[in-house]
Structure 1
Amino acid sequence: MSDQASRTWSNYRPSKAVWFWSCIGAAVLTMIVGFSWGGWVTNGTAEKRTEAASEKAVAELAASICVHRFLAAPDASAQLTTLKETDSWKRDKLVQKGGWVTFADMKEPVDGAAELCADLLSKAELPAVAASDETVREVEIAN
């Protein structure tokens, strides 16, 4: 910078109007950056996101319970085979009809849980059934 430009810059004194509009511009720019890239949200948006997260958590918990109840049923093997043979878009209805996502004192199933449960069950395998003592003795005698 030349000596003249340096003196002009150091001697500059903005007016009150320039100060005012600079502050307004900085505030507006800060809000634009904050809401666009900074992750700021309004109260209404925060409430909607909280509600959605809460509903998702309840559905995931209900789906976990559903899977456990389904696999613990006496006819789980047949039911799981039926579920896996059913079209993927019909599986949630099958789970709802079975009552796996309707819990005590509830008239309706938990929203979203049937679909999550059906997805988890479609990937599930039944745990190996422990052989009874008699079956083990029969195998030992045969050998």
Structure 2
Amino acid sequence: MQIPASLKPGLTGAALGAIATMIIGFSSGGWYTTSSAEKLATTRSAVAVVDALVPVCVAQSKLDPDGAAKITAMTGMVTNYEKRDFVMKAGWATTSGSESANSDVASACADVLVKARQS
């Protein structure tokens, strides 16, 4: 098939425009591939779960009869790992229906409890 010479610039421009549109769309236009959209959804849902469970953890610490003493002891700990493990061992980051504590919830809960104690 012979393409007329007058159409070649238009077809070349259309092809380059389509390529440029895809590059701009995926790099800064907010377009996502299926795998990157799934990764984004997984990350956002994990953050939402932690945000939803931190108040439960704080409430469980307040229900603990030795909670105030435990939080005071936790404020003296140096690393975040110690604080996270302390909250996990206290059982504050274990929700009903689960057998083990959520480490992300424990880390966030420890941060909230220490900041609340310091202020």
Q: TM-score range by the shorter chain?
A: 0.7 to 0.9
Highest CA radius of gyration, 1 or 2?
1
Q: Count residues in correspondence.
A: 114
Alignment RMSD (CA, Å): 1.9
Give the counterpart of 1:95 among 87, 92, 96.
87
Paired with 1:111 and 1:93, the residues of 2 have a C-alpha distance of: 8
Unaligned runs of 5+ in 2: none
3-state secondary structure, aligned to 1:112: helix
Give the drift of 1:111: 4.4
Please say which of residues 104-113 and 85-94 is displaced more in the overlay. Answer: 104-113
Identity %: 32
Aligned residue runs from structure 1 range 58-97, under 5 A:
58-89=49-80, 90-97=82-89
TM-score, normalised to structure 1's length? 0.72
Paired with 2:49 and 2:20, the residues of 1 have a C-alpha distance of: 39
Q: Deviations over 1:20-73 (max 9, x none)?
A: 111000011111111222121112111110111111111121121101110232
Paired with 2:8 and 2:103, the residues of 1 have a C-alpha distance of: 57
Partner of 2:11: 20
* Residue identity in the other structure for 1:112: D
Answer yes or no: is 1:121 the counterpart of 2:104. Answer: no
Give the drift of 1:101: 0.8
The runs of at least 4 aligned residues of structure 1 exceeding 2 Å deviation read none
TM-score, normalised to structure 2's length? 0.86
Paired with 1:49 and 1:30, the residues of 2 have a C-alpha distance of: 23
Partner of 1:38: 29
